[in-house]
Structure 1
Amino acid sequence: MSTDAATHTWPELAGGLYDALTGRNAEITYDFQNMEVHVPAKTGGQSVQHAHWKLNGVLKIRTRDTSQGT
């Protein structure tokens, strides 16, 4: 992701961060405490029903470059 490109969505931000960290033995750690998310039941702007997710705990995302071998 170039530095002059605008980021407009969370998926763009997450993808750009992942790409920037891949190959650097990086780790991103998120610690959730009573985080509540209402996830649309289907894609598109017309979804009325939502699933209720409650997150407690740690999510770790590790990156590595598999093209250089493991």
Structure 2
Amino acid sequence: MAETNDTKNWPELAIGLYDKLTGRNAEISYSFDNFELNVPSSTAPNAPSAHWKMNGTLRISTRDGINGQAG
């Protein structure tokens, strides 16, 4: 059985996403229309959360290399 590495916190999630996308000319775009989300402060059970409301577009892109060129 393959070993799984569960993300334990938000910085680990961000680093993992960056590592997966860097060097692949990747961009992820999400469009939201009155989207509401409760974002937990940790992965602990019953962790307090922040309530986010989103309208518009969220883009996540990566660049890696010299002079900001896509990798």
Residues 1:26 and 2:26 are matched in the alignment: yes
Q: Which consecutive unaligned segments of at least 5 residues does structure 1 have?
A: 40-50
Deviation at 1:16, TM superposition (A): 0.2
What secondary structure is seen at the aligned counterpart in 2 of 1:35?
strand
> Percent same amino acid at aligned positions?
61
Distance in 2 separating the partners of 1:4 and 1:38: 25
Mapped to 1, the partners of 2:61 and 2:10 lie a distance apart of 18
Over the aligned positions, Cα root-mean-square deviation in angstroms equals 3.3
The reply on whether 1:5 has 2:5 as its aligned counterpart is yes
What letter is aligned with 1:56? N
Q: Deviations over 1:24-63 (max 9, x none)?
A: 1001112222123578xxxxxxxxxxx8653111111111
Paired residue type of 2:62: T
Moved over 6 A (4+): none
Normalised to the residue count of structure 1, the TM-score between the two structures is 0.54
Pairing 1:36–2:24 present: no
